[in-house]
Amino acid sequence: MLENLLPGVQHLQNIHPIVVHFPIAFLVGAALFYFLGWIFQNQTLSTTGLLLLILGTISAAAAVGTGLYAEDGVMVSRSVREHLLETHETFMLVTLGLSIVLAIWASIARPFPKKSRLLFLLIFLVLLGIMSVGADYGARMVYDYNAGGKACSQPIEFSR
């Protein structure tokens, strides 16, 4: 059924590539709304940030889950697995952990912690940096080593 709705899906080894973009969008959006809520002292913007943070955390859990499920089936060489996949996995697990911590913190101090707001925003920036680096490792696997498709023969050995 999914193949009829999204014909490109038939070329995927797993659904992880479909899921990974949601946490990126939601978490970047959450950080933006939290920053604007802080600058303009606007509760509505901060509440939107909280909702996006919760959606980002849920979608990050889905992305990590689908990635862990797909890990053994990804057709890459051992060298690519060691240099890229394992590092990608570590960065994204840290991203998920930080997003859980921030979501719990923000949910308790709704919608935006009054104390330690700057620390909250700094941790969020660290999260975005870690997520960006982790996403880059994932993109390298897909675009440099064909980890997500059938464009060329497998496996391709790691090279800088």
pLDDT in tens, 36-66: 999 999 999 999 999 999 999 999 999 999 9
- How much is the pTM? 0.87
Q: Where are the domains of the chain?
A: 15-145
Q: What is the pLDDT of residue 154?
A: 59
Q: At a CB cut-off of 8 Å and minimum separation 6, what does 34 contact? A: 45, 46, 49, 53, 112, 120, 121, 124
Is 120's pLDDT higher than 80?
Answer: yes
DSSP 61-101: HHHHHHHHHHGGG----HHHIIIIIHHHHHHHHHHHHHHHH
Q: At a CB cut-off of 8 Å and minimum separation 6, what does 129 contact? A: none
- Return mean pLDDT, the chain: 89
Q: Which residue's structure tokens are 């990635």?
A: 67
**Per-residue b or e along 15-26, where b marks 16 or more CB atoms closer than 10 Å to that residue's CB:** ebbbbbebbbeb
Model confidence at 145, pLDDT cuts 50, 70, 90, reads: confident
From residue 51, alpha-carbon distances to 5, 47, 133 in Å are 28, 6, 24
